[in-house]
Amino acid sequence: MFSKFKSYWAKIGPGVVTGAADDDPSGIATYSQTGAQYGLSFLWTAIFTLPFMVTVQEMCARLGIVTGKGLANNIRTHCPSYILYISTICLIIANTFNIGADISAIGEAVQLLFPTLSIVYIVIIFTLFSLLLQILVPYQKYARYLKYLSFTLIAYIIAGLTAGLIWKDLFFAVAIPSFEFNKESALLICAILGTTISPYLFFWQTSQEVEEKIARRKGIKFVGSEISENDSNRAISGMRFDVWTGMFFSNLTMFFIIALCGTVLFPNGVRDIETAAQAAQALLPFAGNATYILFTLGIVGTGLLAVPILAGSSAYAIAETFRFKEGLYHKYREAKAFYGIIVFSMLIGLGITFIGIPPMKALIYSAILNGIMAPFLLMVIVYLSSKESIMGKWKNTKSQSFLGWTITGIMTMASVTAVWFLI
């Protein structure tokens, strides 16, 4: 039994971490609002988005393994420069806003568990702790910590299972999708797509596949043209298992959060969630203390995982854009610009927490912003991963390209509709 788990543990990596980071406080906020406002009406989105998430993240991972370059580096090499600059600028804006909102959500969640602690001290200590981990801990150890944190998703699954869900209702909610075309529903769909298929995950997944292979060969590159065909086959096969596992558990968590809030909050008239504290506290009188604690711990755990990934994806994008030395496998003195971007992103995000925007509302807005950005990047990713001159025999299959262009079209329509309603 232990040997099987050890073998499984060795197979998972960037895909599982990326999937867990997808359910950051932004995702939790969006899914909580979805269940609280609409009950089980949008539960079908947890199933609908899975094949598209897997396809997109697999394209990003495959691009990193085959080329040995991060996403921004590939865009710089194969696309006009304006595409690179637009992509990087949009990513930085969305990530910085998201970091600030996530840090605020973590502060509120910790304060729920320890009411006497000052939220100011909580967010400052968390920011400094996260920065020290990223800068001082060697990549292989840091990657293990991120894998451990990905298990915090289990808190939401357990919380859902202990809340007395009616499985017959859940089955029909998934089997018979429903949707009303109005402003609120359109913005929510854009937010759901934006938080499940998020731009920062594209950059992180691609770069982490490169980092992972370098780490496994102890600094000798195990990517791009330098790897043998046999190693390439093994790397792609392992990556696909990893990505499928990560995206499956990401969407399973999404399913249980919507189901929990749709079953508990919606029937009791709790429809408007403004803060992380309200989301957890609203569950307390109806679902009990255990569900309340699990929900709160989930916010803290996923925030601890997602915030450094948000900052890291910004650092990869900027460093690759301006050809700085990049990578978490480098020590601080070897890649000062790369780590400097991480520090700057975290500190700006910390500053945003003191502006006074309600964290839950800010998280929803950041998810909508990601939904508007994503189609542009998806076009680039599908284009790059489809070109034989770049990918060789690992270019997209027809079904992969079809799914890639389909989700690009869906997210384009969702973002255009959201912008139309917003103006």
Per-residue pLDDT tens over the stretch 90-123: 888 888 888 888 888 888 888 888 888 898 999 9
* Residue range 206-253, pLDDT digits in tens: 988 888 776 555 544 444 454 555 566 777 888 889 999 999 999 999
Kindly list the domain boundaries of the chain, sorted by start residue: 14-422
Can you give the pLDDT at residue 397?
A: 92
At position 271, the amino acid (one-letter code) is R
The tokens describing 217, both together, are 């060969």
User: How many Å apart are CA 127 and CA 100, to the nearest integer?
Assistant: 10
CB half-sphere exposure, 176, CA atoms < 13 A:
6
- Collapsing DSSP to helix, strand or coil, 349 comes out as helix
Angle at 147 between CA 124 and CA 325, to 5 degrees: 70
User: Measuring CA to CA, which residue among 175, 208, 248 is closest to residue 22?
Assistant: 248
Encode burial over 65-80: b for 16+ CB neighbours within 10 A, e otherwise.
bbbbbbbbbbbbebee
Residue scoring higher pLDDT (180 or 320)? 320
The tokens describing 334, both together, are 């070897």
Q: Give the chain's radius of gyration (CA, Å).
A: 20
Can you give the pLDDT at residue 209?
A: 85
In contact, 202 and 377? CB cutoff 8 Å: yes
Whether the per-residue pLDDT at 6 is higher than 70: the answer is: no
In contact, 149 and 250? CB cutoff 8 Å: no
Query: Model-level pTM?
Result: 0.89
The label of the residue with tokens 């269940």 reads 35
The tokens describing 255, both together, are 């399913």
Section 25-52 average pLDDT: 89
Chain centroid, CA 393 distance in Å: 29
Chain centroid, CA 67 distance in Å: 23
Chain centroid, CA 148 distance in Å: 16
State the average pLDDT for the chain. 84
Q: Which residues contact 274 (CB under 8 A, 6 or more apart)?
A: 358, 360, 361
- Collapsing DSSP to helix, strand or coil, 74 comes out as helix
The tokens describing 373, both together, are 């950005």
Residue scoring higher pLDDT (237 or 318)? 318
Whether the per-residue pLDDT at 202 is higher than 90: the answer is: yes
Q: What is the largest CA-CA distance in the chain?
A: 60
CATH topology of domain 14-422: Amino acid/polyamine transporter I (1.20.1740)
Can you give the pLDDT at residue 73?
A: 93
